[in-house]
Amino acid sequence: MTDRIVLASDHAAIALRQAVAAHLAAKGFEVDDIGPTTPESVPYPQQGEAAARKVAAGEARFGIILCGTGQGIMMAANKIKGIRCGVCSDTFSARMIRQHNDANMLSIGARVVGEGLALDIVDAFVSAEFEGGRHAPRVDMIKALEA
């Protein structure tokens, strides 16, 4: 799997998304930042869907999406088959959604967390590995709900 990470946001989270993109690039990840780049209003469902489709298609290992709260864009992403996305405002949750839920997308609320914490959350998410074992059957149950 590629070390590519797709990033998207709505207009409320442009600055934080760009900070996350620079942070990931500095760590050696290939970043696919699909915007937006201007402050005009952009519907978060479209941005969440666009990023999720890239992850679902295997074009990126992970997706990181942002909006004001992280909630709406996460809801849109989770409508795409194969996506397991969680909103995180702490590092413990970010690590656990990878380790226990095999999440492939992370959502962050730009109006909820500051840049320093957001970067720590991103690091916890991208560095954690799915543990499998007792968690694998539960993830399979989640996947079965998409059928």
- The catalytic residue positions are 67, 100
CA 44/CA 74 separation, integer angstroms: 9
CA 86/CA 134 separation, integer angstroms: 20
Q: Exposure string (b/e) for 21-36, b if CB count within 10 Å is 16 or more? A: bebbeeeebebbbbbb
Is residue 69 a contact partner of residue 113, using CB atoms and an 8 Å limit? Answer: no
CA 83/CA 86 separation, integer angstroms: 10
